[in-house]
Amino acid sequence: MKKRIGLLGGSFDPPHYGHLKISFEAIKKLKLFEVWWVIALQNPLKKPNSSTNYTERFNNSNLFTASYKNIKISNIEKQYSINFSIDSITRLKNNFNNFDFIWLMGADNFAQFHNWKQWHQIMDKIPIVVFNRPGFSYKALTSKAAYYYKHYRVKAHNKPINIFSTPKWMFLWHINENISSTKIRKLTDENK
């Protein structure tokens, strides 16, 4: 049986407790071997942020997770000059065909998932697990992606989601954190 790996993509600017909580919940609820944080070279849906460069975000994520053996930091986007999740997923699946990957995301991202490059291909390539975020759950569950793939939603998770053929997605309510990197940066800027 292949080991299950969760992929959590993002800018991680900065990494925070919410990222850890999603990772730990995913490991526990989805019976994952590890969660890999895929540090975005540049989020195509956000304006370039000059405050923190890739190397600093990557190093901060490594330091932040140093004591957690089942969270790894991936530099695949930097290594291959990748800017889109579909390309990261394709490269990881090709490079590590001995693992079963599951894409992890917050409800805020799933609400706008239809804006991602080749979002249908992402759904076809990898199971997706969406985590609740206060203020975004309704938007996520009524989003274009949720509507389009409503018949592919797995509601009970007594079996690992990766054993279902794709497209498949699941919504988990266990996270109730309202923390975000944007809020942390704003607080940090206000206190300077």
What's the rounded mean pLDDT across residues 12-29? 93
User: What residues pair up with 69 in beta bridges, in sequence order?
Assistant: none
The confidence band for 188, taking pLDDT boundaries of 50, 70 and 90, is very low
What is the per-residue pLDDT across 85-104, written as a single tens digit (0 to 9) for each?
999 999 999 999 999 999 99
AA identity, residue 129: V
CA 178-179-185 angle, to 5 degrees, is 145
In this predicted structure, which of 29-43, 56-70, 109-123, 171-185 has the lowest mean pLDDT? 171-185
Higher-confidence position of 163 and 26: 26
- Give the CATH fold of the 3-190 domain: Rossmann fold (3.40.50)
pLDDT of residue 143: 98
Percentage of residues in the chain having pLDDT higher than 70: 84
Q: How far is CA 87 from CA 6, 80, 116, 135, 177, in A?
A: 16, 9, 11, 29, 29
Domain boundaries in the chain? 3-190
Record the tokens describing residue 83, joined without a space: 């800017």
Start-end of H helices in 5-154: 17-30, 54-64, 76-79, 85-95, 107-111, 119-125, 137-141, 144-148
What is the per-residue pLDDT across 25-70, written as a single tens digit (0 to 9) for each?
999 999 999 999 999 998 777 776 655 799 999 999 999 999 999 9
pLDDT of residue 116: 97
Higher-confidence position of 104 and 176: 104
Average pLDDT, the chain: 88
The structure's pTM equals 0.88
